[in-house]
Amino acid sequence: MSRIALAAIMLVAMTGSSAFAATRPAAKLASANVENGKAVFERWCSACHAPKASLAGTLALQTKYNGEVPAALEQRTDLTPDVVAFFVRNGVAWMAPFRKTEISDIELADLGAYLAKGPAKRTDAKRKDAKRKDKAR
């Protein structure tokens, strides 16, 4: 239900009368830098969205989805770069939109790629990376 609900909310928001910035297509995942996306997350998002129940973003998403999806963004497996870009550029409730001098389009694509990758794939990627390094030794 949660994915459908989220998609429905997005559709309403994106086609609604709000004059807030429309989302531009996020850059292709392949060209995005996931490591940099992690740095963007830590710089701009983690103060509200880290896995700590009392933080504004984590508290809000826990309340909104009631456990159907993880409350902390980095633990989600259903995020896409477009969803991330939509919320970054439009904001929601008390979260004001982020300007391009704060999170540039390239950084936004990196952030989207990082969050879209999901925790399991990120762990896999790390493991593979470690293996490659082992072999290189």
Binding footprint of another protein on the chain (CB under 8 A): 17-22, 24, 43, 47-48, 54-57, 59-60, 63-64, 89, 91, 93-102
- Cβ proximity to another protein: between 87 and 117 the closer is 87
Angle of helix 2-15 versus helix 81-90 axis, rounded to 10: 50
- Cβ proximity to another protein: between 105 and 129 the closer is 105
| Minimum distance, C-beta of residue 104 to another protein, in the bound complex (Å) | 9
Q: Which two tokens stand for residue 114?
A: 């990082």
Determine the Cα–Cα distance for residues 106 and 115; give it in Å rounded to an integer: 14
Question: Using only C-alpha atoms, what is the Rg of the chain?
Answer: 16
| Minimum distance, C-beta of residue 78 to another protein, in the bound complex (Å) | 19
| Minimum distance, C-beta of residue 50 to another protein, in the bound complex (Å) | 10
Determine the Cα–Cα distance for residues 101 and 120; give it in Å rounded to an integer: 31
